[in-house]
Amino acid sequence: MPDTPLAADLNAPFRFEYDPATLRYGPDAVRSLDTELDAQGDDRALVVCGATVGETPAVMDPVREGLGDQLAGVFAKTTPAKRLGTAYDGLERFREVDADCLVAVGGGSSLDVAKIISILAATDRDPAAVGQAFVDSGTIAVPETELPPIVAVPTTLAGADLSIVAGVTAVPDTCPVDEPTSGGVGDPKLMPAAVCYDPELIATTPRSVLAASAMNGFDKGIETLCAANSTPITDATASRGLGLLTDGLLALGNGDDDPWVYQSLTRGIMLVQYGISRADGTTLSLIHAFGHGLTRTYEVQQGAAHAVIAPHALSYLFEQVDGRRSLLADALGVGEASDPAAAVVDRVNDVVTTLGLPTRLRDVDGPDREAFPEVADAVLEDAFMANVPSELEPTRKDIVSVLESAW
């Protein structure tokens, strides 16, 4: 056996416990939503989406057609803020139309709000009590009873679909807080019952939105391969998914509008997500921790934060540890390079610049340099740091150095 890091992986024990959603893929797959609801045993669906998606016929017409008589109503009021008050309003609509399931159409915000609606629909606690408990604990208790199921219909590439977590924000008009307070919920029950991946719906999303969302999903694949808790199963799906995403994103950035581009992107984001959100944890790590540190108290958009930080975080990673650089290089289509670490960083840079995304922190609505130590503390405290390669021991100085290099 060759003496390489990859060969050493063959002897590493692992346990893989995963209960994913049913996956449907295909052009026009959304027009079969009624058959998926039948398979899940559901009858009346409330569609949850944002106002823009709700007013986009290219998205909503096939969704309505696909649901047919099983469409109970539409709640088109989600926002990127993912407010708890929005979920309260959604719950009222859910009960008003006598729905028994939710169809979340759009990006991660709509899916997260749908998850909170599902939790609220299954609990007997009144909104005021839920809001107070959220303020006190930073989370919402998931009841032991069965939750109304969710079918996700993504229109972006953020990769929030195969997930057992949801983010939520409390604001003064619905909760006893003086300023917006963010938190999250995590439970295996929050995994959608099904996800409908339709490349024709992805193609309706403006390119600028797709490009911004893409880096979040793209980085999930990168982190999955170098995470301390990677498995051969997630290696396989992330590697194949990264290859498809790389080809699709470079083509998208170069203006190619052929159907294969959206098919490649949709299959790629589906694959990189598979298995990364499990009952025993997630494979997200260093880049997402940086993203959280940059976005939780600043206005920088998550995809922009990922675009700026990913090449610098990877350079730091490879300076310190192997980081499974050869496996990453193969997945990104640069496996023949003499220096796989440099090739990986260059490839990620190519994706960022081709998509027209920002490459410097000074060009986004993020922190000033004086705030870097504070951001570094937030990065180091982020839960995803538990998944960095076991040999990596980041310090505050290291994190500040990465931020400085991205400035």
The 10s digit of each residue's pLDDT in 333-387 is: 999 999 999 999 999 999 999 999 999 999 999 899 999 999 999 999 999 999 9
> Of 19, 29, 32, which is closest to residue 193 (Cα–Cα)?
19
Q: What is the pLDDT of residue 3?
A: 47
The structure tokens listed for 78 are 């989600």
As a whole-number percent, the residues of the chain with pLDDT over 90 amount to 82
The b-or-e profile of 38-60 (16+ CB within 10 A means b, else e) is eebebebbbbbbbeebbebeebb
What integer is the mean pLDDT of 15-27? Answer: 93
CA distance 113 to 49: 9
Q: What are the backbone angles phi and psi of residue 391, rounded to the nearest 5°?
A: -80, -15
With 0.95 as the threshold, say if the pTM is over it: no
The answer to whether the CB of 47 falls within 8 A of the CB of 66 is no
The answer to whether the CB of 261 falls within 8 A of the CB of 360 is no
For 219-247, the pLDDT digits (tens) are 999 999 999 999 999 999 999 999 999 99
Beta-strand relationship, 45-50 and 71-78: parallel
Which DSSP helix (H) or strand (E) runs through 211?
Answer: helix 207-226
Cα distances from 302 to residues 72, 214, 215, in angstroms, run: 33, 10, 9
Kindly indicate the confidence band of residue 269, based on its pLDDT and cuts at 50, 70 and 90: very high
DSSP 147: P
Kindly indicate the confidence band of residue 70, based on its pLDDT and cuts at 50, 70 and 90: very high
CA atoms within 13 A on the CB side of 51: 4
DSSP 332: T
As a whole-number percent, the residues of the chain with pLDDT over 70 amount to 97
For 42-65, the pLDDT digits (tens) are 999 999 999 999 999 999 999 999
Q: Which residue has the higher pLDDT, 189 or 81?
A: 189
For residue 1, pLDDT beyond 70? no
* Mean of per-residue pLDDT scores for the chain: 93
Q: What angle do CA 195, 218, 274 make, to 5 degrees?
A: 40
Which DSSP helix (H) or strand (E) runs through 182?
Answer: strand 181-186
Q: What is the pLDDT of residue 5?
A: 52
For residue 305, pLDDT beyond 80? yes
Q: Which amino acid is at 190?
A: L
The answer to whether the CB of 366 falls within 8 A of the CB of 300 is yes
For residue 9, pLDDT beyond 90? no
Q: What is the pLDDT of residue 132?
A: 86
What integer is the mean pLDDT of 151-165? Answer: 94
For 94-136, the pLDDT digits (tens) are 999 999 999 999 999 999 999 999 999 999 888 888 888 888 8
